[in-house]
């Protein structure tokens, strides 16, 4: 009788342990779920920044009405692209810098097609002064030691 009672207790205890594990385990949250989502682009800020750039360029370069609209579109595309890159690559600074540089080069090419040669030259000079960006044809002014003229 002790054996049958012991068997019955073990059977009841063992069966309840089996039933306790029948609920499915909850999946662990993914690592990307804990990272906050990138905020949406604030289109008003993007437009305001592009308009401010365009207004400054209009005053400094004397743009005609057709140029103003083309430059406004170029600036809008560029500002939107830079803001998107900042959000998308905020964890990868090198990638963000490369994308922003590409956007800047593309913007320069589009501006070069839109502005007259005199306007673009003036724009480049102002840009170099403001940003400290040397022109591709600029010379630093220091002669290399040992070469003619550097005595």
Question: To the nearest whole percent, how much of the chain has pLDDT over 90?
Answer: 54
Helix (H, G, I), strand (E, B) or coil at 28: coil
- Residue with the larger pLDDT of the pair 34 and 50: 50
Q: Which of 29, 103, 113 is nearest to 71 (CA)?
A: 113
Question: 């998308």: which residue's tokens?
Answer: 88
Mean pLDDT of the chain: 78
Q: Where are the domains of the chain?
A: 41-131
Q: Which of 73, 50, 72, 68 is nearest to 58 (CA)?
A: 68
Q: Contact, 107 vs 74, CB < 8 A?
A: yes
Phi, psi of 21 (to 5 degrees): -100, 10
In tens, the pLDDT along 114-129 reads 999 999 999 999 888 8
Environment class of 40 (CB within 10 Å of its CB; exposed 0-12, middle 13-18, buried 19+): exposed
Residues 6 or more apart whose Cβ sits within 8 Å of residue 57 = 63, 71, 75, 123
Distance in angstroms (rounded) separating the CA atoms of residues 107 and 90: 22
- Residue with the larger pLDDT of the pair 144 and 107: 107
What is the arithmetic mean of pLDDT over 64-73? 96
């Amino acid at each position: 009788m002790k054996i049958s009672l012991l068997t019955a207790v073990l059977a009841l205890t063992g069966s309840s342990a089996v039933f306790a594990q029948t609920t499915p385990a909850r999946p662990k949250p993914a690592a990307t779920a804990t990272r906050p989502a990138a905020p949406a682009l604030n289109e008003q800020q993007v437009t305001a920044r592009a308009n401010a750039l365009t207004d400054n360029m209009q005053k400094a370069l004397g743009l005609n009405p057709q140029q103003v609209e083309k430059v406004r579109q170029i600036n809008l595309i560029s500002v939107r692209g830079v803001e998107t890159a900042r959000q998308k690559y905020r964890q990868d600074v090198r990638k963000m810098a490369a994308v922003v540089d590409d956007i800047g080069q593309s913007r320069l090419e589009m501006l070069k097609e839109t502005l007259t040669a005199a306007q673009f030259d003036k724009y480049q000079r102002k840009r170099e002064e403001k940003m400290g960006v040397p022109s591709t044809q600029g010379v630093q002014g220091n002669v290399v030691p040992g070469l003619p003229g550097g005595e």
